[in-house]
Structure 1
Amino acid sequence: MAIATMFAGKSSFIHRGSIAPQISHLGKFPSRALHFASPRAEKSLSSSSTGEIAAIAGTSVAIPVVAWSLFTLKTTGCGLPPGPGGSLGALEGVSYLAIGALIAWSIYTKAKTGSGLPSGPYGLLGALEGVSYLVLLGALVVFGLQFIDHGYIPGPLPNEQCYG
């Protein structure tokens, strides 16, 4: 019984039970290399806009800070401590704003163009966009659990419930 296969536009017949099927068209491949990456993915850092680079730098710092904040909120019931001169608390607040800004930019771009943010250099902006949505989901879960467990979500400033 013969099984017809298509390979590189040529059909060949392979007989069931044959040890070495005949392949006569292997030498007819194109000589140039195939490129699988799109030109968008090969974009370098020097050809990116200033906004893309700023979003990558800011969100790269903001995501770990917000993850640390959410972990601290879940384990202690309060966010990060204010730190020296309030610097750690300020970094926490700015980090939440940076992730919110990236998500707002993503939603605006999706509504305007029908696709998400550009992938950016080395695909970093697209990756950070996806991780930002995961952090948003994590924040919603932790805030919900915080409200169920403690009955409140701590405010942005120290008060009698947290660090007051």
Structure 2
Amino acid sequence: MLLLSPASTSLPSPRSNSFNFAHGRARLHAPLKLLGMAKESSDSGNVGVVEKAAIAGGLVSTPVIGWSLYTLKTTGCGLPPGPGGSIGAIEGVSYLVVVGIVAWSLYTKIKTGSGLPNGPFGLLGAVEGLSYLTLLAIVVVFGLQYFEQGYIPGPLPADQCFG
């Protein structure tokens, strides 16, 4: 939205002397001031909570997936289940979080023409970028795993890994 300032009744500054010679006489014009204002995010209060959850989830998920992909590439298996299956659960949820962030980003890109907002301190934008890079790493490592080993381990322990 552009706002125009009202015409000033005070004398203009000496550096803004512009004359209009319309109708045979000189008139002094004050320069027109334009002010551009960006619209603040006025969506519901839940968006802030969703953004913060995505930031926290993304900042935790991307290193977990990095560890998982490194383990997959070096051992041929994902992370071990851990006590009570907790490490395996964190691994699985991390994959879902990254896919969810990328899906949210793509939906927003299609709907608005731009990606996710930057969020506080630019963290949501950073998490969005990291999620795309993580998805690329997933595709590369899974592809290498399939072509070198002939399989991609499933989400549950099987005969090949931890079975």
Provide the residue aligned with 1:69 in structure 2: 68
Deviation at 1:80, TM superposition (A): 0.2
Distance (whole Å) between structure 1 residues aligned to residue 138 and residue 107 of structure 2: 21
Provide the residue aligned with 1:105 in structure 2: 104
Distance (whole Å) between structure 1 residues aligned to residue 126 and residue 39 of structure 2: 17
Distance (whole Å) between structure 1 residues aligned to residue 54 and residue 100 of structure 2: 9
Distance (whole Å) between structure 2 residues aligned to residue 134 and residue 53 of structure 1: 20
String of CA shifts for 1:2-56, please: whole Å, max 9, x gaps. Answer: xxxxxxxxxxxxxxxxxxxxxxxxxxxxxxxxxxxx998xxxxxxx711100100
Give the TM-score normalised by the residue count of structure 2. 0.71
Calculate the aligned-residue CA RMSD, in Å: 1.5
Alignment of 1:88-127 (within 5 A): 88-127=87-126
- Count of residue correspondences: 120
- Check if 1:158 corresponds to 2:157: yes
Q: Which runs of 5+ in 1 are unaligned?
A: 1-37, 41-47
Deviation at 1:107, TM superposition (A): 0.3
Q: Aligned letter for 2:111?
A: K
String of CA shifts for 1:102-146, please: whole Å, max 9, x gaps. Answer: 000000000000000000000000011001100000000000000
Q: Which has the larger radius of gyration?
A: 2
Give the TM-score normalised by the residue count of structure 1. 0.71
Q: Extract structure 1 runs of 4+ deviating beyond 4 A.
A: none
- Check if 1:52 corresponds to 2:71: no
Q: Which runs of 5+ in 2 are unaligned?
A: 1-37, 41-46
Provide the residue aligned with 1:4 in structure 2: none
Q: Aligned letter for 1:97?
A: L
**Identity score, percent:** 67
Provide the residue aligned with 1:17 in structure 2: none
